[in-house]
Structure 1
Amino acid sequence: MQRFVVLCALFISFFAASVLAQSNSLDQYRLGSGDVVKITVYGQDDLSLETRLSDVGIINYPYLGEIKLVGLTLPELESYIYNGLKGDYLVEPSVSVSITDYRPFFINGEVKKPGGYPYQPGLTIDKAAALAGGYTERASKTKIFIVRDTEGSSTTISVDRSGIVLPGDIVTIEQSFF
């Protein structure tokens, strides 16, 4: 019985850690062109909006004017809007910002249907390849690369099949030698 309890505790802590890691990665997620953002101010319909970010990533928000959203995290945007509305316009605004549609990711190389696909939270290389029709018979299981934009510059990283894919990533599955 004690062994069962220990195994259950280990399982629960592992599951909680993975959920927390996913949550933390979304808190650190930076908005980019193509994302659809929903801004809600409780009780203030005229201050709530939903918009797809353009390449410029600037929106015109009531009372605050132009706000550049590209590169901001959701908590940063919430804080900016909260602080901008607090005082002059509202006493204690209740601001919520969410992403209703992420920008797509792209996958090319040794998959059956290369192209752009809608991002889904929790996406791994294997899941991305499945969306693209699966690996070809020549696909390498070890030569997998992601080109990721991080704070204005592109970085190429080598990953394994369990690597995490983020919105806007370009995944390349190389051909194996044998």
Structure 2
Amino acid sequence: MLNALLQRGFRAAFVIYAALFAVTAIAQGQESTSAHDYQLGSGDKILISVYDEADLTMETILSDSGLINYPFLGELKVSGLTVSGLERMVVEGLKGDYLVNPNVHVSILEYRPFFINGEVEKPGGYPFQPGLTIGKAAALAEGFTERASESKIFIIRGDDPAQTKRKAALNTLLRPGDIVTVEQSFF
């Protein structure tokens, strides 16, 4: 009897733990951008490599227009595409007329910068790195000033066309192109 109660208690605790883990994973997944769904944009530095075809390998920084001029294919609209989407576009463009079975790889060499302003020692633009939080971004900007409020932090997502200002915390994950503002404390 005691054994049966312990097993039921363990099962219930396990179910609750699994549910909390799933909710946490979903919430974190909504805040971060994985490499698979990351959309290329202005300021990203990319490398397009075609195996055994040095003439078709290129490194470029995406301009505001989001266009690149690729050998044999001309102007390609890259902004808004994922890395795998750009790979497919280049493969489809080269296949047949130029190459039988092109092996294309696209990688992000450098993400577009994020910006932090307000009550930090050195406001400005900084290179983005995956896993970057607002707390780490403040450290890159040499920390908060004496007047900074760690509870009045706002973020504008770089991929938000409405440029909506949202409240954020020190552990909020950043994305390339984000703008963080640290406001003053009144005390």
Give 1:76's match in structure 2, choosing from 74, 85, 98: 85
Q: What is the aligned partner in structure 1 of residue 66 from structure 2? A: 57
Once superposed, which parts of structure 1, at least 4 consecutive aligned residues long, lie more than 3 Å away?
20-24
Contact 2:32 / 2:175 at 8 angstroms: preserved in 1? no
Contact 2:32 / 2:174 at 8 angstroms: preserved in 1? no
Q: Is 1:31 the equivalent of 2:40?
A: yes
Q: Sequence identity of aligned pairs in percent?
A: 60
Aligned-pair distance for 1:150? 2.2
Q: Is 1:92 the equivalent of 2:76?
A: no
Q: What is the aligned partner in structure 1 of residue 149 from structure 2? A: 140
Q: Deviations over 1:85-129 (max 9, x none)?
A: 122222221111011111111100111111111111111000000
Contact 2:159 / 2:177 at 8 angstroms: preserved in 1? no
The alignment yields a C-alpha RMSD, in angstroms, of: 2.5
Q: What is the aligned partner in structure 1 of residue 49 from structure 2? A: 40
Aligned-pair distance for 1:176? 2.1
Contact 1:40 / 1:95 at 8 angstroms: preserved in 2? yes
| Distance of aligned partners of 1:151 and 1:87 in 2 relative to their CA distance in 1, 3 Å threshold | farther
| Distance of aligned partners of 1:23 and 1:161 in 2 relative to their CA distance in 1, 3 Å threshold | closer
Contact 2:134 / 2:171 at 8 angstroms: preserved in 1? yes
Q: Which runs of 5+ in 2 are unaligned?
A: 1-17
Q: Which runs of 5+ in 1 are unaligned?
A: 1-9
Which structure has the larger Rg?
Answer: 2
Contact 2:51 / 2:102 at 8 angstroms: preserved in 1? yes
Aligned-pair distance for 1:81? 0.8
User: What is the DSSP-based 3-state SS (H/G/I as helix, E as strand, rest coil) of the residue aligned with 1:158?
Assistant: strand
User: What is the DSSP-based 3-state SS (H/G/I as helix, E as strand, rest coil) of the residue aligned with 1:84?
Assistant: helix
- Counterpart residue type for residue 98 of structure 2: Y
Q: What is the aligned partner in structure 2 of residue 130 from structure 1? A: 139
Aligned-pair distance for 1:23? 9.0
Q: What is the aligned partner in structure 2 of residue 67 from structure 1? A: 76
User: What is the DSSP-based 3-state SS (H/G/I as helix, E as strand, rest coil) of the residue aligned with 1:76?
Assistant: helix
Q: Deviations over 1:65-84 (max 9, x none)?
A: 11011111111111111111
Q: Is 1:104 the equivalent of 2:104?
A: no
TM-score, normalised with respect to structure 1: 0.82
- Across the two proteins, how many residue pairs are aligned to each other? 165
- Counterpart residue type for residue 41 of structure 2: G
Aligned-pair distance for 1:172? 0.3
Q: What is the aligned partner in structure 1 of residue 127 from structure 2? A: 118
Q: Aligned equivalents of 2:126 and 2:158: distance in 1?
A: 17
Q: What is the aligned partner in structure 2 of residue 175 from structure 1? A: 184
Q: What is the aligned partner in structure 2 of residue 5 from structure 1? A: none
Structure whose residues are more often strand by fraction: 1
